[in-house]
């Protein structure tokens, strides 16, 4: 491949780049959050990637899962050293949990799936920061940050995911020895899923039901040593292993963990929010319930960011491929057009670029809001937590679901070659598809948001003030059908009217069901399909609003053509979703059938207008080839050369005749001569 990487850019891609009418670097700066960030990102990428340490001699796809894992451990160690170098060179780098988006981004060059060390910096360290007392932090943090120990976070059990109160693992305090005794009372109580748990980590944060003085105080976090620091042997009383192959994340040795009267010191309970004293007295320190959301919300914000990033990769691959791939002959005698010239292809791809932007800007906005929440929480003010929790829930659900859907659409748009692992697209789908489930399943999260929305609706109905993201509910009580208008603001207002309408239907259904004698819980349960849909509609309105407002703000000083193309993409997003939701718009706004047919034609015109800038738009994501891992998406567009070169690396091609012929086939074929 090193030879390939020096090839000339494919003439079709060169032509596309010549056609681009806007300054790509300006867009890159907007996406990075300013020129300085771009420079810092590029510096990080140069340090991490220029020497080729990320590259495998044999592609991982040809290895067994065990070999893949061992190779991933090797690269995790290499990568840890590289991070050390980056931090030494770039002081002041934002490194919360050593896991800032910039560092996280570059790590994707090393790991097609994921590092087995990921949850050490992604969950173990942040949880120590969030749940330990200052004294405990002083003991654990330096050891963890310096990687003298390596940990993960084990909450989910074989039989328990979403419902944390149902966890079965127990931690029973024994004042005699001043230890907690950990136990796994049943098969379903085994910890299951934690990344790195199977073979990699020697420590682990364990969520268990705390018992002291015969009373259960609910789930609490504990720091538990699992393996000997020198020999790495599992300690007596620990049953541990890897859970087996998954759709993705196969380099992360997700593990299971059981305890058989395993004792840990009292001090290993994470005591910021609650404590057990030496004599076994339970003391609640802080508003425990609310504070434990902190790490969870942090992870959700990161997941929205990753969804956007991975969708940007998929767009880059599919758009570049669509510029190089030629197919069919719609006009007799003419040549085969680039497949991107087909309107159906533009329909598949440009919404993906727009969504990558929409999610990225929503994620940035969510990050700023979250920082504000954190600042307020330090002063003990948790008033904004419910709104933020509702927001982070639905944004995580909708972002990961949309990103997975559109990544798959990018793969479909690449036809057969998209099915090759070397396209990079199946890996992206497998990865993002997992994020749709973990840290809060799609349906469960939307129902959490729905609870907030129903309350907000009732407040608005009572004439009370509501928080900003649901202020549209107040207008909904004006009694007028929302006036349709196809301007960006008009469409956002219509989406808000749809959300308000759908929330209203849910409220009325719940009330009428309760009037028939059903309990509140039963009436709620019977309305959940519509509640999920209402939450999705709310989230779509929030993303649409945020996206268009952020584009206006961020391009205020941009050159006219950058402003133009960014506004076009915003409209692609709005028109696309309006056309996907015509039923709701007809029900809750004044839109007419003619308006819909017109909007369809406007949408098609827009696609054709964006077409010449499509390659420029994905180039502006500025994703190095090392991050894309794609034969179809490389900057030079040498698709066919790369596909063939990659095939030649297959061990299946190392010998002209596979042994299976002599062992199995020959007796069969020759058996009846």
Which residues are designated catalytic?
439
Least CB distance from residue 583 to a copy of itself, whole Å?
Answer: 3
Contact 160/166 with Cβ under 8 angstroms? yes
* 361: Cβ contacts below 8 Å, ≥ 6 apart: 546, 547, 550, 551, 554
Distance in angstroms (rounded) separating the CA atoms of residues 239 and 196: 15
Residue 112, burial from CB neighbour count under 10 angstroms (0-12, 13-18, 19+):
buried
Pairing of strands 151-154, 203-212: parallel
CA dist 662 → 658, 659, 665, 666 (Å): 8, 5, 6, 5
Least CB distance from residue 607 to a copy of itself, whole Å?
Answer: 8
Least CB distance from residue 370 to a copy of itself, whole Å?
Answer: 25
Which of residues 477 and 640 has its CB atom nearest to a copy of itself in the complex?
640
Least CB distance from residue 175 to a copy of itself, whole Å?
Answer: 31
Which of residues 199 and 467 has its CB atom nearest to a copy of itself in the complex?
199
Cβ count near 455 (within 10 Å): 14
Contact 445/393 with Cβ under 8 angstroms? yes
Distance in angstroms (rounded) separating the CA atoms of residues 518 and 510: 9
SS3 for 118-134 is HHHHHHHHHHHHHHCCH
Distance in angstroms (rounded) separating the CA atoms of residues 478 and 481: 9
Residue with tokens 């928080």: 467
Residue with tokens 């990161």: 302
Measured at the CA of 560, the angle between CA 554 and CA 564, to 5 degrees, comes to 75
Q: What is the CA radius of gyration of the chain?
A: 27
DSSP H or E stretch at residue 663: none
Handedness of CA 124, 129, 132, 136 (dihedral sign): positive
Distance in angstroms (rounded) separating the CA atoms of residues 495 and 551: 18
Least CB distance from residue 379 to a copy of itself, whole Å?
Answer: 33
Pairing of strands 191-192, 151-154: unpaired
Least CB distance from residue 471 to a copy of itself, whole Å?
Answer: 25
Cβ count near 220 (within 10 Å): 23
* Cα 204 to chain centroid, rounded: 23
Strand partners, 265: 179
Which of residues 288 and 347 has its CB atom nearest to a copy of itself in the complex?
347
Which of residues 43 and 143 has its CB atom nearest to a copy of itself in the complex?
143
Distance in angstroms (rounded) separating the CA atoms of residues 446 and 37: 33
Contact 219/166 with Cβ under 8 angstroms? no
Least CB distance from residue 220 to a copy of itself, whole Å?
Answer: 19
Which of residues 291 and 518 has its CB atom nearest to a copy of itself in the complex?
518
Which of residues 24 and 120 has its CB atom nearest to a copy of itself in the complex?
120
Which of residues 450 and 618 has its CB atom nearest to a copy of itself in the complex?
450
Cβ count near 632 (within 10 Å): 28
Residue closest to 402 by CA, chosen among 360, 345, 448: 360
- Phi, psi at 225, each rounded to 5°: -80, 135
Which of residues 28 and 400 has its CB atom nearest to a copy of itself in the complex?
400
Least CB distance from residue 381 to a copy of itself, whole Å?
Answer: 29
Which of residues 360 and 393 has its CB atom nearest to a copy of itself in the complex?
393
Least CB distance from residue 246 to a copy of itself, whole Å?
Answer: 5
């Amino acid at each position: 491949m090193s030879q390939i990487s020096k090839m000339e850019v494919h003439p079709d891609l060169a032509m596309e780049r010549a056609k681009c009418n806007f300054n790509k670097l300006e867009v890159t700066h907007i996406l990075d959050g300013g020129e300085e960030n771009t420079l810092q990102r590029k510096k990080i990428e140069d340090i991490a990637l220029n020497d080729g340490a990320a590259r495998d001699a044999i592609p991982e796809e040809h290895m067994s899962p065990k070999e893949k894992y061992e190779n991933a451990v090797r690269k995790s160690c290499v990568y840890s050293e590289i991070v050390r170098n980056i931090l030494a060179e770039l002081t002041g780098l934002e490194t919360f949990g050593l896991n800032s988006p910039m560092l996280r981004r570059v790590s994707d060059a090393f790991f097609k799936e994921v590092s087995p060390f990921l949850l050490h910096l992604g969950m173990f360290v942040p949880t120590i920061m969030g749940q330990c007392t200052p004294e405990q932090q002083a003991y654990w943090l330096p050891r963890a940050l310096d990687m003298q120990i390596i940990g993960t976070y084990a909450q989910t059990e074989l039989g328990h995911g979403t419902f944390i109160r149902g966890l079965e693992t127990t931690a029973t305090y024994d004042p005699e020895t001043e230890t907690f005794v950990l136990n796994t009372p049943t098969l379903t109580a085994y910890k299951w899923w934690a990344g790195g748990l199977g073979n990699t980590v020697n420590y682990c944060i364990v969520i268990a039901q705390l018992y002291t003085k015969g009373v259960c105080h609910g789930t609490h976090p504990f720091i538990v040593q699992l393996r000997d620091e020198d020999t790495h042997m599992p300690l007596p009383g620990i049953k541990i292993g890897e859970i087996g192959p998954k759709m993705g994340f196969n380099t992360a040795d997700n593990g299971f963990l059981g305890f058989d009267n395993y004792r840990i010191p009292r001090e290993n309970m994470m005591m910021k929010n609650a404590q057990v004293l030496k004599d076994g007295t339970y003391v609640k320190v802080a508003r425990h319930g609310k504070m434990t959301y902190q790490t969870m919300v942090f992870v959700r914000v990161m997941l929205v960011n990753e969804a956007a990033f991975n969708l940007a990769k998929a767009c880059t691959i599919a758009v570049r491929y669509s510029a190089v791939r030629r197919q069919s002959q719609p006009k007799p005698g003419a040549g085969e057009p680039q497949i991107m010239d087909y309107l159906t292809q533009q329909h598949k791809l440009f919404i993906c670029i727009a969504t990558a932007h929409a999610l990225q800007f929503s994620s940035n906005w969510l990050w700023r809001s979250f920082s504000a929440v954190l600042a307020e929480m330090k002063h003990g003010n948790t008033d904004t937590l419910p709104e933020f929790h509702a927001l982070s829930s639905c944004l995580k659900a909708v972002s990961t679901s949309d990103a997975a859907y559109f990544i798959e659409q990018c793969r479909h748009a690449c036809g057969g070659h998209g099915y090759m692992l070397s396209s990079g697209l199946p890996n992206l789908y497998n990865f993002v598809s997992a994020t749709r489930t973990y840290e809060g399943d799609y349906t469960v999260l939307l129902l959490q948001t729905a609870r907030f929305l129903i309350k907000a609706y009732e407040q608005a109905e009572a004439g009370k003030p509501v928080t900003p993201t649901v202020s549209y509910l107040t207008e909904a009580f004006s009694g007028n059908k929302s006036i349709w208008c196809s301007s960006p603001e008009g469409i956002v207002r219509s989406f808000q009217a749809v959300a308000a309408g759908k929330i209203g239907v849910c409220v009325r259904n719940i009330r009428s069901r309760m009037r028939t004698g059903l309990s509140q819980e039963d009436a709620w349960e019977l309305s959940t399909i519509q509640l999920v849909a209402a939450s999705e509609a709310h989230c779509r309105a929030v993303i649409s609003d945020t996206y268009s407002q952020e584009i206006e703000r961020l391009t205020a000083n941009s050159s006219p053509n950058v402003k133009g193309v960014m506004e076009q993409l915003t409209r692609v997003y709005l028109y696309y979703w309006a056309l996907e939701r015509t039923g709701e718009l007809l029900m809750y706004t004044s839109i007419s059938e003619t308006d819909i047919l017109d909007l369809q034609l406007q949408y098609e015109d827009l696609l054709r207008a964006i077409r010449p800038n499509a390659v420029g738009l994905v180039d502006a994501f500025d994703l190095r080839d090392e991050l894309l891992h794609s034969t179809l998406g490389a900057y030079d567009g040498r698709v066919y050369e790369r596909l063939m070169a990659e095939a030649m690396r297959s061990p299946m091609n190392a010998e002209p005749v596979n042994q299976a012929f002599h062992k199995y086939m020959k007796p069969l074929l020759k058996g009846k001569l």
